[in-house]
A and B are shown apart, each in its own frame.
Chain A
Protein backbone atom coordinates (compact mmCIF):
# COMPACT_ATOMS: atom_id res chain seq x y z
CA UNK A 1 0.00 0.00 0.00
CA UNK A 2 2.65 2.46 1.08
CA UNK A 3 4.71 1.59 -1.97
CA UNK A 4 1.83 2.81 -4.08
CA UNK A 5 1.73 6.06 -2.15
CA UNK A 6 5.45 6.61 -2.45
CA UNK A 7 5.35 6.42 -6.22
CA UNK A 8 2.09 8.32 -6.56
CA UNK A 9 2.20 11.56 -8.53
CA UNK A 10 0.54 14.79 -7.50
CA UNK A 11 -3.24 14.52 -7.40
CA UNK A 12 -4.71 15.32 -10.82
CA UNK A 13 -1.40 14.75 -12.61
CA UNK A 14 -0.87 12.10 -15.30
CA UNK A 15 -0.80 8.49 -14.05
CA UNK A 16 2.58 7.09 -13.12
CA UNK A 17 3.50 3.75 -14.68
CA UNK A 18 6.76 3.41 -12.75
CA UNK A 19 7.27 -0.13 -11.55
CA UNK A 20 8.31 -3.61 -12.50
CA UNK A 21 5.75 -5.48 -14.60
CA UNK A 22 5.33 -9.06 -15.77
CA UNK A 23 2.87 -10.39 -18.32
CA UNK A 24 -0.05 -12.03 -16.53
CA UNK A 25 -0.43 -15.03 -18.83
CA UNK A 26 1.69 -16.81 -21.41
CA UNK A 27 1.09 -15.09 -24.72
CA UNK A 28 2.44 -17.45 -27.36
CA UNK A 29 0.00 -16.98 -30.25
CA UNK A 30 -1.36 -13.47 -30.46
CA UNK A 31 -5.15 -13.37 -30.70
CA UNK A 32 -7.49 -10.47 -31.34
CA UNK A 33 -9.41 -9.07 -28.38
CA UNK A 34 -12.40 -11.31 -29.12
CA UNK A 35 -10.17 -14.37 -28.92
CA UNK A 36 -10.29 -15.01 -32.66
CA UNK A 37 -7.30 -15.21 -34.95
CA UNK A 38 -6.11 -11.85 -36.27
CA UNK A 39 -7.28 -10.88 -39.79
CA UNK A 40 -4.19 -11.91 -41.75
CA UNK A 41 -4.41 -11.48 -45.51
CA UNK A 42 -4.06 -14.59 -47.66
CA UNK A 43 -0.32 -14.38 -48.21
CA UNK A 44 0.47 -13.58 -44.57
CA UNK A 45 -1.88 -16.35 -43.38
CA UNK A 46 0.06 -18.82 -45.49
CA UNK A 47 3.41 -17.64 -44.13
CA UNK A 48 2.04 -17.81 -40.57
CA UNK A 49 0.63 -21.30 -41.06
CA UNK A 50 4.05 -22.52 -42.20
CA UNK A 51 5.68 -21.08 -39.08
CA UNK A 52 2.95 -22.39 -36.77
CA UNK A 53 3.46 -25.91 -38.11
CA UNK A 54 7.18 -25.73 -37.41
CA UNK A 55 6.61 -24.14 -33.99
CA UNK A 56 4.15 -26.85 -32.99
CA UNK A 57 6.75 -29.44 -33.95
CA UNK A 58 9.35 -27.74 -31.75
CA UNK A 59 11.28 -26.45 -34.76
CA UNK A 60 12.28 -22.85 -34.02
CA UNK A 61 14.51 -22.47 -37.10
CA UNK A 62 12.13 -19.81 -38.48
CA UNK A 63 12.66 -17.57 -35.41
CA UNK A 64 15.75 -15.34 -35.10
CA UNK A 65 14.76 -14.68 -31.49
CA UNK A 66 15.53 -18.33 -30.75
CA UNK A 67 19.11 -17.28 -31.47
CA UNK A 68 18.83 -14.22 -29.23
CA UNK A 69 17.92 -11.62 -31.84
CA UNK A 70 15.71 -8.95 -30.29
CA UNK A 71 12.01 -9.83 -30.70
CA UNK A 72 11.23 -6.13 -31.11
CA UNK A 73 8.02 -4.38 -30.16
CA UNK A 74 5.37 -5.51 -29.41
CA UNK A 75 6.58 -9.09 -28.89
CA UNK A 76 9.21 -8.08 -26.32
CA UNK A 77 6.42 -6.86 -24.02
CA UNK A 78 4.79 -10.25 -23.65
CA UNK A 79 7.87 -12.45 -23.33
CA UNK A 80 7.69 -14.22 -19.95
CA UNK A 81 10.31 -11.87 -18.48
CA UNK A 82 9.73 -8.72 -16.41
CA UNK A 83 10.44 -5.16 -17.42
CA UNK A 84 10.75 -1.98 -15.47
CA UNK A 85 9.14 1.29 -16.49
CA UNK A 86 10.89 4.51 -15.46
CA UNK A 87 8.75 7.52 -16.20
CA UNK A 88 9.73 11.17 -16.39
CA UNK A 89 8.04 14.11 -18.05
CA UNK A 90 10.02 13.91 -21.27
CA UNK A 91 10.85 10.20 -21.47
CA UNK A 92 9.46 6.84 -20.56
CA UNK A 93 12.12 4.16 -20.42
CA UNK A 94 11.41 0.44 -20.45
CA UNK A 95 14.20 -1.72 -19.04
CA UNK A 96 13.60 -5.30 -20.17
CA UNK A 97 15.14 -8.21 -18.33
CA UNK A 98 15.38 -10.25 -21.54
CA UNK A 99 18.87 -9.72 -22.89
CA UNK A 100 18.91 -6.41 -20.99
CA UNK A 101 17.18 -4.55 -23.81
CA UNK A 102 15.62 -1.16 -23.33
CA UNK A 103 13.01 0.90 -25.11
CA UNK A 104 12.47 4.66 -25.09
CA UNK A 105 9.17 6.44 -25.52
CA UNK A 106 9.62 10.12 -26.31
CA UNK A 107 7.08 12.22 -24.44
CA UNK A 108 8.27 15.61 -25.64
CA UNK A 109 5.74 15.91 -28.48
CA UNK A 110 8.17 15.92 -31.36
CA UNK A 111 7.32 14.30 -34.72
CA UNK A 112 7.85 10.58 -35.29
CA UNK A 113 10.78 10.04 -37.64
CA UNK A 114 12.71 6.80 -37.71
CA UNK A 115 16.02 7.32 -39.51
CA UNK A 116 16.10 3.66 -40.51
CA UNK A 117 14.12 0.60 -39.49
CA UNK A 118 14.81 -0.67 -35.99
CA UNK A 119 13.58 -3.78 -34.22
CA UNK A 120 12.12 -1.61 -31.42
CA UNK A 121 10.90 1.02 -33.88
CA UNK A 122 10.47 4.60 -32.72
CA UNK A 123 7.91 5.44 -30.07
CA UNK A 124 6.20 8.70 -29.22
CA UNK A 125 3.87 9.02 -26.27
CA UNK A 126 1.34 11.38 -24.78
CA UNK A 127 -1.32 11.26 -22.10
CA UNK A 128 -5.05 11.31 -22.73
CA UNK A 129 -6.60 11.60 -19.29
CA UNK A 130 -5.59 8.50 -17.39
CA UNK A 131 -4.30 6.68 -20.46
CA UNK A 132 -0.80 6.67 -21.86
CA UNK A 133 -0.94 6.52 -25.65
CA UNK A 134 2.19 5.25 -27.41
CA UNK A 135 2.51 5.42 -31.21
CA UNK A 136 5.28 3.36 -32.78
CA UNK A 137 6.52 2.78 -36.29
CA UNK A 138 9.82 2.51 -38.12
CA UNK A 139 10.01 -1.23 -37.51
CA UNK A 140 12.36 -3.47 -39.40
CA UNK A 141 10.59 -6.58 -40.63
CA UNK A 142 13.37 -8.91 -41.68
CA UNK A 143 14.01 -10.55 -38.33
CA UNK A 144 11.05 -10.02 -35.99
CA UNK A 145 7.60 -11.53 -35.59
CA UNK A 146 4.51 -10.42 -33.70
CA UNK A 147 4.37 -13.63 -31.65
CA UNK A 148 6.31 -16.76 -30.70
CA UNK A 149 4.60 -18.81 -33.45
CA UNK A 150 5.97 -16.54 -36.18
CA UNK A 151 3.13 -14.14 -37.03
CA UNK A 152 4.65 -11.86 -39.68
CA UNK A 153 4.53 -8.11 -40.05
CA UNK A 154 5.86 -5.61 -42.58
CA UNK A 155 7.82 -2.37 -42.32
CA UNK A 156 4.46 -0.61 -42.66
CA UNK A 157 3.52 -1.78 -39.16
CA UNK A 158 2.10 0.96 -36.98
CA UNK A 159 1.45 0.05 -33.35
CA UNK A 160 -0.75 2.13 -31.07
CA UNK A 161 -0.79 1.22 -27.41
CA UNK A 162 -3.16 2.52 -24.78
CA UNK A 163 -1.89 1.84 -21.28
CA UNK A 164 -3.83 2.27 -18.09
CA UNK A 165 -3.51 1.20 -14.50
CA UNK A 166 -6.18 -1.08 -13.03
CA UNK A 167 -6.89 -2.70 -9.67
CA UNK A 168 -5.57 0.25 -7.71
CA UNK A 169 -2.26 0.13 -9.62
CA UNK A 170 -1.66 -3.62 -9.23
CA UNK A 171 -2.26 -4.25 -12.92
CA UNK A 172 -1.22 -2.58 -16.16
CA UNK A 173 -3.52 -3.01 -19.13
CA UNK A 174 -1.98 -2.49 -22.57
CA UNK A 175 -4.48 -2.30 -25.40
CA UNK A 176 -2.43 -2.89 -28.54
CA UNK A 177 -3.71 -1.86 -31.95
CA UNK A 178 -1.94 -3.42 -34.93
CA UNK A 179 -2.23 -1.46 -38.16
CA UNK A 180 -0.29 -3.14 -41.00
CA UNK A 181 -2.12 -3.03 -44.36
CA UNK A 182 0.55 -5.17 -46.02
CA UNK A 183 -0.13 -8.04 -43.59
CA UNK A 184 -3.70 -7.71 -42.28
CA UNK A 185 -6.97 -6.99 -44.04
CA UNK A 186 -7.84 -4.36 -41.46
CA UNK A 187 -6.46 -2.91 -38.19
CA UNK A 188 -7.21 -4.99 -35.12
CA UNK A 189 -6.70 -4.86 -31.35
CA UNK A 190 -5.61 -7.12 -28.56
CA UNK A 191 -5.28 -6.56 -24.83
CA UNK A 192 -2.29 -7.74 -22.80
CA UNK A 193 -2.24 -7.44 -19.03
CA UNK A 194 0.72 -7.17 -16.71
CA UNK A 195 0.96 -7.73 -12.98
CA UNK A 196 2.97 -5.38 -10.82
CA UNK A 197 5.97 -7.02 -9.19
CA UNK A 198 7.39 -5.70 -5.94
CA UNK A 199 9.21 -2.42 -6.54
CA UNK A 200 12.49 -3.74 -5.14
CA UNK A 201 12.77 -6.47 -7.78
CA UNK A 202 16.29 -6.25 -9.16
CA UNK A 203 16.53 -7.08 -12.83
CA UNK A 204 19.18 -9.79 -13.13
CA UNK A 205 21.76 -9.49 -15.88
CA UNK A 206 20.44 -11.66 -18.67
CA UNK A 207 22.85 -12.51 -21.49
CA UNK A 208 20.75 -14.56 -23.88
CA UNK A 209 23.75 -15.97 -25.75
CA UNK A 210 25.23 -17.28 -22.49
CA UNK A 211 21.99 -19.15 -21.87
CA UNK A 212 21.79 -20.64 -25.34
CA UNK A 213 25.49 -21.53 -25.22
CA UNK A 214 24.70 -23.72 -22.22
CA UNK A 215 21.86 -25.44 -24.06
CA UNK A 216 18.97 -23.47 -22.60
CA UNK A 217 16.27 -21.86 -24.75
CA UNK A 218 16.50 -18.19 -25.69
CA UNK A 219 12.92 -17.74 -24.50
CA UNK A 220 12.19 -19.99 -21.55
CA UNK A 221 8.45 -20.65 -21.44
CA UNK A 222 8.80 -22.81 -18.34
CA UNK A 223 9.39 -19.68 -16.27
CA UNK A 224 6.97 -19.05 -13.44
CA UNK A 225 4.85 -15.91 -13.85
CA UNK A 226 4.46 -15.55 -10.06
CA UNK A 227 4.63 -11.93 -9.06
Chain B
Protein backbone atom coordinates (compact mmCIF):
# COMPACT_ATOMS: atom_id res chain seq x y z
CA UNK B 1 0.00 0.00 0.00
CA UNK B 2 2.87 2.36 0.67
CA UNK B 3 3.79 2.79 -2.97
CA UNK B 4 0.40 3.79 -4.28
CA UNK B 5 -0.53 5.91 -1.32
CA UNK B 6 2.65 7.98 -1.41
CA UNK B 7 2.19 9.19 -4.94
CA UNK B 8 0.32 12.47 -4.70
CA UNK B 9 -1.96 9.94 -2.91
CA UNK B 10 -3.62 11.40 0.13
CA UNK B 11 -1.55 14.58 0.15
CA UNK B 12 -1.72 15.48 -3.50
CA UNK B 13 -5.45 14.92 -3.92
CA UNK B 14 -6.25 16.58 -0.60
CA UNK B 15 -4.34 19.69 -1.65
CA UNK B 16 -6.02 19.66 -5.03
CA UNK B 17 -9.41 19.11 -3.43
CA UNK B 18 -8.88 22.01 -1.02
CA UNK B 19 -7.86 24.31 -3.83
CA UNK B 20 -10.83 23.16 -5.88
CA UNK B 21 -13.27 23.95 -3.08
CA UNK B 22 -11.73 27.40 -2.64
CA UNK B 23 -11.96 28.12 -6.35
CA UNK B 24 -15.47 26.83 -6.86
CA UNK B 25 -16.94 28.16 -3.65
CA UNK B 26 -19.28 26.45 -1.27
CA UNK B 27 -21.42 24.94 -4.04
CA UNK B 28 -18.54 22.73 -5.13
CA UNK B 29 -19.09 19.03 -5.66
CA UNK B 30 -17.46 17.22 -2.73
CA UNK B 31 -14.12 15.79 -3.83
CA UNK B 32 -13.04 12.43 -2.58
CA UNK B 33 -10.46 12.85 0.16
CA UNK B 34 -8.85 10.35 2.42
CA UNK B 35 -9.08 6.65 1.58
CA UNK B 36 -9.93 5.69 -1.97
CA UNK B 37 -10.92 2.47 -3.72
CA UNK B 38 -7.58 2.35 -5.50
CA UNK B 39 -5.90 -1.03 -5.19
CA UNK B 40 -6.28 -4.76 -5.75
CA UNK B 41 -9.46 -6.47 -4.53
CA UNK B 42 -10.78 -10.01 -4.25
CA UNK B 43 -14.41 -11.05 -3.82
CA UNK B 44 -14.70 -12.38 -0.31
CA UNK B 45 -16.48 -14.68 0.30
CA UNK B 46 -16.32 -16.07 -3.24
CA UNK B 47 -19.67 -16.80 -4.87
CA UNK B 48 -21.22 -17.35 -8.27
CA UNK B 49 -24.81 -16.49 -7.34
CA UNK B 50 -26.69 -13.53 -5.93
CA UNK B 51 -28.87 -13.87 -2.86
CA UNK B 52 -31.17 -11.17 -1.50
CA UNK B 53 -29.45 -9.38 1.36
CA UNK B 54 -32.32 -9.95 3.72
CA UNK B 55 -31.95 -13.68 3.03
CA UNK B 56 -35.48 -13.89 1.62
CA UNK B 57 -36.33 -15.81 -1.54
CA UNK B 58 -35.55 -14.19 -4.88
CA UNK B 59 -38.87 -12.55 -5.88
CA UNK B 60 -39.20 -14.31 -9.25
CA UNK B 61 -42.09 -13.84 -11.63
CA UNK B 62 -43.33 -17.16 -13.06
CA UNK B 63 -41.19 -16.52 -16.18
CA UNK B 64 -38.15 -15.83 -14.03
CA UNK B 65 -38.65 -18.93 -11.89
CA UNK B 66 -39.14 -21.11 -15.00
CA UNK B 67 -35.97 -19.85 -16.72
CA UNK B 68 -33.96 -20.15 -13.50
CA UNK B 69 -35.02 -23.75 -12.85
CA UNK B 70 -34.46 -24.68 -16.50
CA UNK B 71 -30.91 -23.30 -16.39
CA UNK B 72 -30.13 -25.15 -13.16
CA UNK B 73 -31.41 -28.41 -14.65
CA UNK B 74 -29.35 -27.97 -17.81
CA UNK B 75 -26.19 -27.17 -15.85
CA UNK B 76 -26.68 -30.26 -13.71
CA UNK B 77 -26.47 -32.28 -16.94
CA UNK B 78 -23.32 -30.40 -18.03
CA UNK B 79 -25.26 -28.45 -20.65
CA UNK B 80 -24.19 -24.80 -20.51
CA UNK B 81 -25.77 -23.72 -23.78
CA UNK B 82 -27.83 -21.19 -21.79
CA UNK B 83 -24.63 -19.42 -20.69
CA UNK B 84 -22.65 -17.48 -23.37
CA UNK B 85 -19.80 -16.93 -20.93
CA UNK B 86 -19.26 -20.66 -20.37
CA UNK B 87 -19.82 -21.41 -24.06
CA UNK B 88 -17.45 -18.86 -25.63
CA UNK B 89 -15.97 -16.61 -22.94
CA UNK B 90 -18.37 -13.76 -23.70
CA UNK B 91 -18.16 -10.98 -21.16
CA UNK B 92 -20.26 -11.83 -18.09
CA UNK B 93 -21.43 -8.22 -18.23
CA UNK B 94 -22.99 -6.51 -15.24
CA UNK B 95 -23.65 -7.31 -12.51
CA UNK B 96 -22.08 -10.76 -13.01
CA UNK B 97 -18.58 -9.31 -13.60
CA UNK B 98 -18.64 -8.23 -9.95
CA UNK B 99 -18.85 -11.93 -8.98
CA UNK B 100 -15.46 -12.53 -10.57
CA UNK B 101 -13.40 -15.32 -8.95
CA UNK B 102 -10.20 -13.55 -10.02
CA UNK B 103 -8.75 -10.20 -8.94
CA UNK B 104 -9.88 -6.65 -9.68
CA UNK B 105 -7.58 -3.64 -9.91
CA UNK B 106 -9.48 -0.43 -9.19
CA UNK B 107 -8.15 2.93 -10.36
CA UNK B 108 -9.76 6.05 -8.91
CA UNK B 109 -9.53 9.42 -10.57
CA UNK B 110 -11.55 12.64 -10.22
CA UNK B 111 -13.64 11.87 -13.30
CA UNK B 112 -13.98 8.12 -13.02
CA UNK B 113 -13.48 4.89 -11.25
CA UNK B 114 -11.99 2.25 -13.56
CA UNK B 115 -12.01 -1.45 -12.73
CA UNK B 116 -9.59 -3.69 -14.57
CA UNK B 117 -10.57 -7.33 -14.16
CA UNK B 118 -7.96 -10.07 -14.18
CA UNK B 119 -10.62 -12.26 -15.82
CA UNK B 120 -10.01 -12.01 -19.55
CA UNK B 121 -8.55 -8.51 -18.95
CA UNK B 122 -12.02 -6.93 -19.06
CA UNK B 123 -12.54 -3.31 -18.16
CA UNK B 124 -15.35 -1.37 -16.54
CA UNK B 125 -15.42 2.40 -16.14
CA UNK B 126 -17.78 4.45 -14.01
CA UNK B 127 -17.61 8.04 -15.19
CA UNK B 128 -18.47 10.50 -12.46
CA UNK B 129 -18.66 13.80 -14.34
CA UNK B 130 -21.56 15.93 -13.27
CA UNK B 131 -23.82 17.29 -15.95
CA UNK B 132 -25.32 15.69 -19.05
CA UNK B 133 -23.46 12.70 -20.45
CA UNK B 134 -21.79 14.08 -23.56
CA UNK B 135 -22.18 12.03 -26.68
CA UNK B 136 -18.92 11.14 -28.29
CA UNK B 137 -19.26 10.95 -32.09
CA UNK B 138 -17.01 7.91 -32.17
CA UNK B 139 -19.29 5.97 -29.87
CA UNK B 140 -22.10 6.11 -32.41
CA UNK B 141 -22.00 3.10 -34.64
CA UNK B 142 -19.46 1.44 -32.41
CA UNK B 143 -19.21 -2.30 -32.05
CA UNK B 144 -22.34 -2.46 -29.94
CA UNK B 145 -24.54 -0.85 -32.56
CA UNK B 146 -24.61 2.68 -31.13
CA UNK B 147 -26.81 3.46 -28.19
CA UNK B 148 -30.07 1.61 -28.72
CA UNK B 149 -28.74 -1.92 -28.66
CA UNK B 150 -28.27 -3.40 -25.20
CA UNK B 151 -24.88 -4.70 -24.21
CA UNK B 152 -23.50 -7.03 -21.58
CA UNK B 153 -22.03 -4.10 -19.66
CA UNK B 154 -24.91 -1.71 -20.28
CA UNK B 155 -24.37 2.01 -19.88
CA UNK B 156 -23.43 3.39 -16.49
CA UNK B 157 -23.61 6.88 -15.04
CA UNK B 158 -22.04 7.57 -11.70
CA UNK B 159 -21.86 10.23 -9.03
CA UNK B 160 -20.52 10.53 -5.51
CA UNK B 161 -22.72 10.83 -2.46
CA UNK B 162 -20.13 11.67 0.15
CA UNK B 163 -17.78 8.70 0.18
CA UNK B 164 -20.20 6.37 -1.62
CA UNK B 165 -20.00 5.87 -5.38
CA UNK B 166 -23.50 5.51 -6.80
CA UNK B 167 -23.60 3.85 -10.23
CA UNK B 168 -26.80 3.51 -12.23
CA UNK B 169 -26.78 1.14 -15.22
CA UNK B 170 -29.30 0.46 -17.98
CA UNK B 171 -29.35 -0.62 -21.66
CA UNK B 172 -28.47 -4.25 -21.06
CA UNK B 173 -28.59 -7.12 -23.49
CA UNK B 174 -30.92 -9.99 -22.66
CA UNK B 175 -28.39 -12.44 -24.14
CA UNK B 176 -26.54 -12.87 -20.88
CA UNK B 177 -27.21 -13.93 -17.33
CA UNK B 178 -27.51 -11.96 -14.11
CA UNK B 179 -25.43 -14.62 -12.35
CA UNK B 180 -24.68 -18.30 -12.97
CA UNK B 181 -28.36 -19.21 -13.47
CA UNK B 182 -30.64 -16.15 -13.16
CA UNK B 183 -31.70 -14.57 -16.47
CA UNK B 184 -32.14 -10.88 -17.19
CA UNK B 185 -34.19 -9.04 -19.78
CA UNK B 186 -33.24 -5.90 -21.65
CA UNK B 187 -35.30 -3.98 -19.06
CA UNK B 188 -32.73 -4.73 -16.35
CA UNK B 189 -31.66 -1.73 -14.28
CA UNK B 190 -29.00 -1.74 -11.62
CA UNK B 191 -28.15 0.72 -8.91
CA UNK B 192 -24.90 0.09 -7.09
CA UNK B 193 -23.70 1.81 -3.96
CA UNK B 194 -19.99 1.19 -3.65
CA UNK B 195 -18.11 2.25 -0.55
CA UNK B 196 -15.28 1.34 1.77
CA UNK B 197 -16.65 -0.44 4.81
CA UNK B 198 -13.18 -0.11 6.29
CA UNK B 199 -9.66 0.25 4.90
CA UNK B 200 -9.54 -3.42 3.87
CA UNK B 201 -13.16 -4.02 2.83
CA UNK B 202 -15.02 -2.75 -0.21
CA UNK B 203 -18.77 -3.14 -0.34
CA UNK B 204 -21.00 -3.14 -3.43
CA UNK B 205 -24.70 -3.00 -2.59
CA UNK B 206 -26.67 -3.76 -5.74
CA UNK B 207 -30.37 -3.04 -6.27
CA UNK B 208 -31.74 -5.22 -9.08
CA UNK B 209 -34.81 -4.17 -11.05
CA UNK B 210 -36.21 -6.32 -13.87
CA UNK B 211 -40.00 -6.41 -14.02
CA UNK B 212 -39.92 -9.24 -16.55
CA UNK B 213 -38.31 -11.67 -14.11
CA UNK B 214 -38.82 -10.19 -10.64
CA UNK B 215 -42.01 -9.02 -8.99
CA UNK B 216 -40.20 -6.21 -7.17
CA UNK B 217 -36.71 -4.69 -6.81
CA UNK B 218 -34.37 -6.59 -4.53
CA UNK B 219 -30.98 -5.87 -2.96
CA UNK B 220 -27.85 -7.94 -2.68
CA UNK B 221 -24.43 -7.13 -1.18
CA UNK B 222 -20.95 -8.16 -2.31
CA UNK B 223 -17.80 -7.59 -0.27
CA UNK B 224 -14.20 -7.52 -1.41
CA UNK B 225 -11.01 -7.77 0.63
CA UNK B 226 -8.03 -5.63 -0.21
CA UNK B 227 -5.03 -7.56 -1.55
CA UNK B 228 -1.35 -6.69 -1.86
CA UNK B 229 -0.58 -4.07 -4.53
CA UNK B 230 2.21 -6.40 -5.66
CA UNK B 231 -0.41 -8.63 -7.29
CA UNK B 232 -0.89 -6.01 -10.02
CA UNK B 233 -0.24 -6.05 -12.96
CA UNK B 234 -2.00 -9.32 -13.50
CA UNK B 235 -0.57 -12.06 -15.68
CA UNK B 236 -2.61 -12.05 -18.87
CA UNK B 237 -5.71 -14.24 -18.56
CA UNK B 238 -6.93 -15.60 -21.91
CA UNK B 239 -10.29 -17.22 -21.21
CA UNK B 240 -10.39 -19.02 -24.56
CA UNK B 241 -7.00 -20.63 -23.81
CA UNK B 242 -8.28 -21.88 -20.47
CA UNK B 243 -11.38 -23.23 -22.15
CA UNK B 244 -9.26 -25.04 -24.73
CA UNK B 245 -7.34 -26.61 -21.87
CA UNK B 246 -10.59 -28.04 -20.53
CA UNK B 247 -11.42 -25.46 -17.85
CA UNK B 248 -14.84 -23.91 -17.40
CA UNK B 249 -14.49 -20.14 -18.10
CA UNK B 250 -16.28 -19.44 -14.82
CA UNK B 251 -16.19 -21.96 -11.96
CA UNK B 252 -19.52 -23.18 -10.58
Contacts and interface: CB of A to CB of B under 8 A. Distances in A.
B144 A6 contact: no
Contact of B91 (A8, A101, A205): A205
A224 B114 contact: no
A5 interface: yes
A3 interface: yes
A46 B45 CA distance: 58
A204 B144 contact: yes
B107 A204 contact: no
B203 interface: no
Contacts of A223: 138
B107 A211 contact: no
Interface stretch (A33-41, A55-63, A89-97, A163-171): A89-97
Nearest to B19: A5
B136 interface: yes
Contacts of B44: none
Interface stretch (A24-32, A134-142, A179-187, A194-202): A194-202
Interface in B79-134: 91, 107, 109-112, 114, 116, 121-123, 125, 127, 129, 134
Interface residue tally of chain A, by bracket? 35 or more
A10 B233 contact: no
Contact of A104 (B11, B137, B151, B233): B233
- B-side interface size class: 35 or more
Contacts of A202: 112, 125, 127, 136, 139
A100 B15 CA distance: 33
A6 B20 CA distance: 8
Contacts of B114: 84, 86, 95
B55 to A, nearest CB: 34
Tell me whether chain A's interface is mostly helix, strand or loop, or mixed: loop
Contacts, number: 99
B8 A13 contact: yes
B12 interface: yes
B143 interface: yes
Contacts of B19: 5
A88 B9 CA distance: 9
A90 B143 contact: no
Interface of B: 3-4, 6-8, 11-12, 15-16, 19-20, 23, 38, 91, 107, 109-112, 114, 116, 121-123, 125, 127, 129, 134, 136-139, 142-144, 151-153, 229, 232-233
16 contacts: A5-B16, A10-B12, A10-B15, A86-B114, A88-B38, A89-B4, A90-B3, A93-B116, A198-B134, A200-B111, A200-B127, A203-B125, A205-B123, A205-B144, A224-B137, A226-B137
